[in-house]
A and B are shown apart, each in its own frame.
Chain A
Amino acid sequence: MTHFDWGTREIVTPENKTNKKKAQIIPPQMDLKRRAVNFVKGFDINLSPQQLEELEQVVQRSKETFVRDIGKELTDCRKVVVAAVGDLSKSPGALEHSADLAYSVKSLGGTFQYPLMTQIAKSLEIFVADRTKANMKQLLVIQLHIDSLYVILASRVTGFGTTVEQATVAALSKLSERCELPRE
């Protein structure tokens, strides 16, 4: 429909309708459901609390591997960060290493009953995100995060810890904010 455009003070005729592609709706693929869902064999769609507990125990089987592997990664990463503190030209490598470590700990800590580690790793991840360089202070902040993670893991602090641990997490976040700039 033509209309008067107050901006240009002209009568505007809309262009011909463009041939917009109509949405194509494709029916669901039922083959997988047909093959796997039945009333005889397998696991109930709604698992009982007991089955869920068993399944959770299966997940927890990897807990010791997590503690061992992450412990080693924390040690390795700390060495890289300490080396960068001594030689700032190594800071890009330290940042990359820290970012990988932060993501791993953040994603798995909570699964293995270490949500506090997930919280600290999240703070570290935010701090190192999009950085290619870090100054001395920033590297020390990273090192503090790594040390905190190591202490929690070594002391086996599961759950969210006490008020002391929560205060530590809050302090780390505050410190990160204070040393946030420059971000390059």
Chain B
Amino acid sequence: MSAKIDFSKISFLVVDGDKISAQVVFDTLAYLGATAVQRVKSPNDAFEVLRTQRIDVIVTEWRLKGMDGLEFLDVLRNSINSPNRFVPVIMLTAHSEQRYVTTARDLGITEFLAKPFNAKALYSRLVSAITRPRHFVNTGTYFGPDRRRRQVDFDGLDRRSSDDK
């Protein structure tokens, strides 16, 4: 028997100023059985929702009017006034070049989905955000999910110095 995801138990917030793009995400989530899906056009509206309701997963576009998706993520992860610093965030964007992915990752994105996307890609990001929660790392310069996805065994000498030595 394989594991399933009951999407009716999850509340989503879609932050996207583009009507069609937001509709595609909304339709997909509705088809999957999600009943609590909120749509807003700007980060300011998103913060309003986040302050008053419990949101489990945020799906946001990078290019937004006013504050963009990155600034939204930055405030969400790093501000002391953030309503939820740990909420999984899936970023959708047509900026798919490596530097954009790296920037988003270093600001604490949970999943990154390059546009144009298909249903399979969107579903896989949702599955990953829901079923594979990652450790959070808090350093002086970064707060967000652990950026190392792969745990690779290393059988060489440990040459890294440690404070304990």
* Majority secondary structure, B binding face: mixed
Interface assignment of A30: CB less than 8 Å from any CB of chain B: yes
Known: A36-B6, A43-B7, A118-B116. A28 touches B133 (CB 8 A): yes
Near A by CB (< 8 A), chain B positions 2-30 give 2-10, 18-21, 23-24, 27-28
On chain A, the residues within 8 Å of B149 by CB distance are none
- Chain A's closest residue to B33 (CB) is A42
**Contact pick for B5, options A37, A62, A112, CB 8 Å:** A37
Q: Nearest chain A CB to B52's CB is how many angstroms away? A: 19
Q: Is the CB of A43 within 8 A of B33?
A: yes
On chain A, the residues within 8 Å of B136 by CB distance are 25-26, 28-29
Interface assignment of A135: CB less than 8 Å from any CB of chain B: no
**Contact pick for A32, options B1, B28, B88, B135, CB 8 Å:** B88
Q: Is the CB of B18 within 8 A of A42?
A: no
On chain A, the residues within 8 Å of B19 by CB distance are 65, 69
Near B by CB (< 8 A), chain A positions 56-100 give 56, 58-59, 61-62, 65-66, 69
Q: Nearest chain A CB to B136's CB is how many angstroms away? A: 4
**Contact pick for B2, options A22, A46, A56, A109, CB 8 Å:** A46
Q: Nearest chain A CB to B19's CB is how many angstroms away? A: 7
**Contact pick for B4, options A42, A54, A58, CB 8 Å:** A42
Known: A26-B136, A65-B23. A111 touches B3 (CB 8 A): no
Q: Jot down 10 A-B pairs with beta carbons below 8 A, ordered by A.
A: A26-B136, A32-B130, A36-B6, A36-B10, A42-B8, A42-B33, A45-B4, A45-B5, A58-B119, A110-B116
On A, residues with C-beta under 8 Å from B are: 20-30, 32-33, 35-47, 52, 54-56, 58-59, 61-62, 65-66, 69, 103-104, 106-112, 115, 118
